[in-house]
Amino acid sequence: MMKILGHVRLRQLPVFGLFLALAACGKTPPTVDDDLYEEYPGLPYGIMITIAGTGDPGRNASGSGPLDTELYFPQDIAVGPDRRTYILDWNNNRVVVIDNGIVRPLIGSGEPGEALAGPALEVGVDHPTHISFDPQGRLVLSAWQNSRILRYEFTTRRIEPIAGRGDRGFGGDGGPALEASLNLPSSTTFDPSGRMYISDQGNLRIRMVDLNGTISTVAGTGREGFAGDGGPAILADLYAPTGDAAQPAGRIAMDRRGNLFIADTFNNRIRMVDTTGRISTVAGGGSIGATAGTYSGDGGPATQASLSRPSDVAVDAEGNLYIADTGNHCIRKVDTNGTITTLAGRCGEPGFKGDSDHPRWGKLRSPYGVALDQDENLYIADTFNHRIRVVYKHIAVR
């Protein structure tokens, strides 16, 4: 039996509305495990639901309902200022949007291309990895294999490059961002003043584009390794996959105060660059290097916990962090006191399970992306399950 527990703020997603949404997709709402709280007593309220993807990799015709739409290693998810849900369908080289219960293509011809300017559905992009929105509400796309950052204009339905020449390399600091060389840029974020930050994964650096369009490096030396905590971020070493066989990694997020958070993937840490430019570790203290870390630390200090190849990080309005602990197949949360817990998935147990149950009861498989909507519901790119899942904050299961 499903019950509403402890919260009354259900305007955005009442249970009845949730079941109607699932029914509209042609799916029967899954059943609820009545014994959940006997196994996981004292857990915070929440419920996890699949909102898109069949679980089978592929690409079917557009115009399907979300649960009938095939995705292929979805890397990222975002809820826009318009409250629509945007999905980065990585191996299909496209961005799609859930619009009034229908999945519609938004960006990408579906085939790899050079990510040049033009009508968004005609331009080929090569394995994009991240979606963000600039202060004007325009969609910003990290065209990973193109080594470019693109911007989508909703009024014209066109995209154009705004950073990167399209060659894999490093160069251009102090000049126009469009003339700079990037190397597998994996994500972007914006500070309160509107400056854009780029995780330049293959260069092991974080770049910043100011309001005049000039690019510079704000973190990272370009050397693989772990060093620099307590000092200037520009002198710190970061570690992420960089070669021809690299996987997307090293994504970034910004809080409301202007602190920058970095998923330092191969260092198995989350690091923070504060507003003075100093870098520190805020989560993870385990193994360093390409070998996956382990899982430990729930209920204790986040800096003593073990993470395994964290690939993405999100931050809510209060400053809580949400980590895609990709190698551990789970989502971790670090609260404002620095305590870490597991929010979704069974760490160390890959699989698919748990729709309509508490998120800790479910299973994920190599989740690469996390995002929050305006009501702080948590969206998960359950990448190797080829699904998008949501942990609803104001709905509970007992």
Q: How confident is the model at residue 291 (pLDDT cuts 50, 70, 90)?
A: low
Mean of per-residue pLDDT scores for the chain: 89
Q: What is the pLDDT at residue 10?
A: 29
Backbone angles phi, psi at 16, to 5 degrees: -60, -40
Give the Cα separation of 210 and 217 in Å (integer): 11
Q: Quick one: average pLDDT of 246-252?
A: 96
| 19-33, 77-91, 215-229, range with the lowest pLDDT | 19-33
pLDDT digits (tens, 9 = 90+) for 182-221: 999 999 999 999 999 999 999 999 999 999 999 999 999 9
Q: What is the pLDDT at residue 397?
A: 54
Does residue 364 carry a pLDDT above 50?
A: yes
Q: What is the pLDDT at residue 38?
A: 39
Does residue 9 carry a pLDDT above 70?
A: no
Does residue 294 carry a pLDDT above 80?
A: no
Question: Whole-model pTM?
Answer: 0.89
Two tokens, residue 133 = 């929105």
Q: Quick one: average pLDDT of 89-103?
A: 97
Backbone angles phi, psi at 229, to 5 degrees: -55, 135
Among 313, 205, 307, residue whose Cα is nearest residue 259: 313
Q: What is the pLDDT at residue 19?
A: 40
Domains of the chain: 15-392 (2.120.10.30)
Q: Dump the DSSP string for 26-80.
A: T-PPPP--TTHHHHSTTPPS-EEEEEE--SS-S---SS--GGG---SSEEEEEE-
